[in-house]
Amino acid sequence: MKKQLLIIGITLVLIILGLSGCTQENSSSDQSKNQTKPPSTESLQTILAKAETIGSMYYEITASTSMTGAGTQTATIKIWEKTPYLKEDITSVTAGITTTYSIIKRPEGIYSYDTTQNKYVLTTNVALLQQANREMIQDLVNNQTLTNLGTETINGKTATVIQYISSAEGSPTTIKIWIWNEKGVPLKMQFSTTSEETTLTMDYNYSNYSFADIPDSTFSVS
């Protein structure tokens, strides 16, 4: 069962590490000081729709994945997003081993940087670590089981806190997301799933958002 949950965790990291502020967001210790307030006067749909109007954005994610008896995996991701492009630079640490990746999504497919060839190579064997913010927000808009838990303030940013249950990976997973009211993008995400005596948790903190136009050359693979 631990092996199964570890596979679930790796899969979620590879697909969502999901998921797609100008200042560093609060640490977990800071989060405990936040007080949940009543829901925003804006509807959740209105808040989420704001992300659809963003032409391009850069942001960073610090992530940690831990499982009972299996230690913790950490990762730092830098993301450039401009439809129809997406670029990710990932640094992950597992069991003291550091691994780096660079991936670019273009209309014709996904490229990964091959260090042996010193160039980007079109591949079918690599999954994007981060679902584009726009795609994630659209999924949330279409999700009919969201629970609005009210609002919290994270580093001066008002965030609407939503929660839902997903069974996509086999075991029910509780997903909690802090959506930045001003921009409609996530500031923090938490995933938790338990099976028998094993618990898998994932914490993602989003920071350093920039909404300046990103040059197309950023997504060049030549």
- Note down pLDDT in tens along the chain; length 222 residues: 433 333 334 333 433 333 333 333 333 333 334 566 666 688 888 998 898 899 999 999 999 988 877 778 899 999 999 989 999 999 988 878 899 989 999 999 999 999 999 999 998 876 655 555 666 776 776 776 888 999 999 989 999 999 988 776 567 888 899 999 999 999 999 999 887 778 889 999 999 999 999 999 999 998
Q: In this predicted structure, what is the pLDDT of residue 10?
A: 37
For residue 32, the domain's CATH number is 2.50.20
Does some domain include residue 54? yes
Does some domain include residue 110? no
DSSP 9-20: HHHHHHHH----
Does some domain include residue 114? no
Q: In this predicted structure, what is the pLDDT of residue 126?
A: 66
Distance CA 190, CA 59 (A): 18
Distance CA 103, CA 55 (A): 20
Give me the domain span that covers residue 62: 2-77+132-217
> Sign of dihedral through CA atoms 131, 75, 118, 56?
positive
Does some domain include residue 117? no
Q: In this predicted structure, what is the pLDDT of residue 17?
A: 36
| 3-class secondary-structure state, position 22 | coil
Does some domain include residue 69? yes
Cα→Cα distances 131→87, 122, 139, 196, Å: 11, 19, 11, 29
Q: In this predicted structure, what is the pLDDT of residue 73?
A: 87
Total tally of structural domains belonging to the chain: 1
Does some domain include residue 106? no
Beta bridge partners of 112: 103, 121
pTM, two decimals, is 0.77
Nearest in space to 140 (alpha carbons), one of 43, 31, 3: 43
| 3-class secondary-structure state, position 38 | coil
Q: In this predicted structure, what is the pLDDT of residue 200?
A: 87
Nearest in space to 60 (alpha carbons), one of 30, 90, 85, 31: 90
Q: In this predicted structure, what is the pLDDT of residue 131?
A: 56
Give CA angle at 25 (19, 26), nearest 5°: 120
> At 47, which amino acid appears?
I
Which residues are CB-contacts of 10 (< 8 A; sequence separation ≥ 6)? none
Does some domain include residue 143? yes
